A and B are shown apart, each in its own frame.
Chain A
């Protein structure tokens, strides 16, 4: 286990208005990472995953409460970054989400696939009060 260098949590209303703010924060958080071997597209990929995850949490997660909230937190440690996105929707079973039908080129349904591709470890836990999507990305390429 490595010590946490930075921890940052944001809570916001389920509105797309806040999407760019979270993407911007994700980039700022990545700028604090001191790892010299950090791949050049690290921040790009984190920004993409955050955009996909927050769009899902804001838009696609069922639950009619307009005033529902979304929480996002970033933890920077010595070897990796963890991003957690919490939503108050009814949630879904991550193992049931199918791969996109690439040959049919659908207009949507790529979100989770993209997240899984650009991040190293992805978990989704349904909870009583909220569900948590946890995304982990190591600073150096694994394996």
Chain B
């Protein structure tokens, strides 16, 4: 009676169940197991497990679970593996397998099978959707940046014209007349408009972050210098307290420094004219770096707090209101966060969190023989190289150009003013770069060759395929002179 009940329970379990004895013979199975595995119920018992699953050769991952349990006499091994059924269908099986030991010797292993094919497919689908979403988001950001750049560019010329002509008219106008007051107004308003255009341009043309490993002490130096300068400029007294521990951080020194400056400047500006205190702490938190900048200044009004990161939001008399917006974007490019807490009248606390190591490839500063800085000017990207261009740095240059081309940046100026050594491996990589960019309809133009570098260029006749200019500005303009938009 009891055995019938147990048999029934076995049979009707929704999960597949196999019991395999130490010799590899399947001694017990239920309906779900044969359904999942794709063998008729009567075909399984008595068969060797190896006869059923080892022969096909496709079920390596599935077999490995059982082999592992037997070899390691493991209890409760859990894995999700693909299973190829005899009818050709592929399932994702979640397998729980356990070794059973009797009093003296092993009894066998129990295998529980769960068909998770559908869940697995859903999961895959979710990942794909997520990836697609990120891609769309990135594309949207990029096209928004392009739009902002174009608008900034289109606004700059008329603005300069209006401001320029108004200034000339102002000079000629009778002082202290209505006309001169109007003109004065036009001049100062266009100046403000120029500031807006410039900051939109700066925001939209943010270069890609180039991570470097730098000692945290360098961040401290940057912070101290900036706070000191700003305090002197505003005749405030800032008492700076920095707490750090010795470790390395991985940031783009230039961009991260700019973001930091923005926050520090705000902190100094907020200080009361009496003695102000700015406390900075830099500390590693698990895999992140946490930077807290706290001042005891005037604070931010509650109703303003939600908007401080919005573009063009400012409470200052001077300033465009793009500073914090740009700072937050820089930190976001570092895959980090920037957030602000403040109590009006008591001070503000800005916090930056960035991952400590983003890429294992980030080079320690000084270790690389060549540094590449990129700057976007209109449709042209200027790559400024510093150091030695030889076989140790050739790949770095090619990677950089590849990355530019991928983003549609195919009008490149390579500024060699600060390259003091090249050899044929280095120049060969430059030729490879030129070819790849030419293929896309772009060009690489060379600027500012030192004499000894020019000598190598000419020695291997590369001055025939590269246009060489005295300076980066001339090389950049040469691109803009092409086509119908040519100016003068």
Contact = CB atoms under 8 A, between A and B. Distances in A.
> Which 8 A-B pairs rank lowest in CB-CB distance, beginning with the nearest?
A110-B424, A107-B428, A51-B423, A102-B461, A44-B452, A108-B428, A55-B391, A107-B431
Interface of A: 16-17, 19-20, 23, 41, 44, 47-48, 51-52, 55, 58-59, 100, 102, 105-108, 110-111, 113-114, 117
B421 A110 contact: no
A113 B424 CA distance: 10
Nearest to B391: A55
B465 interface: yes
B391 A59 contact: yes
Contact of B391 (A19, A100, A105): A19
B130 interface: no
Contacts of B465: 105
A100 B461 CA distance: 10
B421 A107 contact: no
A24 to B, nearest CB: 10
Given A19-B391, A105-B465, A110 B369 contact: no
B390 interface: yes
A102 B392 CA distance: 24
Interface residues of B, number: 24
A19 B429 CA distance: 17
A39 B413 CA distance: 33
Contacts of B461: 102, 105
A140 to B, nearest CB: 19
A20 B391 CA distance: 10
B460 interface: yes
Nearest to A102: B461
B168 interface: no
B193 interface: no
Interface string B415-440: 00000010111011101100100000
B464 interface: yes
A62 B369 CA distance: 26
Interface of B: 369, 388, 390-392, 421, 423-425, 427-429, 431-432, 435, 452, 455-456, 459-462, 464-465
A117 B425 contact: no
A55 B431 contact: no
Given A102-B461, A105-B461, A47 B424 contact: no
Contacts of B423: 48, 51-52, 55, 114
B462 A51 contact: no
28 contacts: A16-B391, A19-B392, A20-B392, A23-B388, A41-B452, A47-B421, A48-B423, A51-B390, A52-B424, A55-B390, A55-B391, A58-B391, A59-B391, A59-B425, A102-B460, A102-B461, A105-B465, A106-B428, A106-B431, A107-B429, A107-B432, A108-B425, A110-B424, A110-B427, A114-B423, A114-B424, A114-B460, A117-B459
Given A17-B392, A59-B391, 8 more contacts: A19-B392, A41-B452, A47-B421, A52-B423, A55-B390, A110-B427, A114-B424, A114-B459
B464 to A, nearest CB: 7
B391 A48 contact: no
A19 B391 CA distance: 9
A56 B390 CA distance: 12
Nearest to A27: B421
Contacts of B421: 23, 47-48, 51
B462 A105 contact: yes
Contacts of A110: 424, 427-428, 460
A117 B465 CA distance: 21
A111 B424 contact: yes
Nearest to A23: B421
A114 B426 CA distance: 13
A58 B423 CA distance: 15
A19 B388 CA distance: 11
B369 to A, nearest CB: 6
Contacts of A51: 390, 421, 423
Which of A107, A108, A117 has the most chain B CB atoms inside 10 A of its CB?
A107
Contacts of B390: 19, 51, 55
A55 B452 contact: no
A106 B462 CA distance: 10
A58 B390 CA distance: 13
Contacts of B428: 106-108, 110
B459 A105 contact: no
A114 B424 CA distance: 8
A90 B431 CA distance: 29
Which of B391, B428, B432 has the most chain A CB atoms inside 10 A of its CB?
B391
Contacts of A47: 421
Given A16-B391, A100-B460, A105 B431 contact: yes
Contacts of A19: 390-392
Nearest to A112: B424
Nearest to A110: B424
Nearest to B435: A107
Contacts of A100: 460
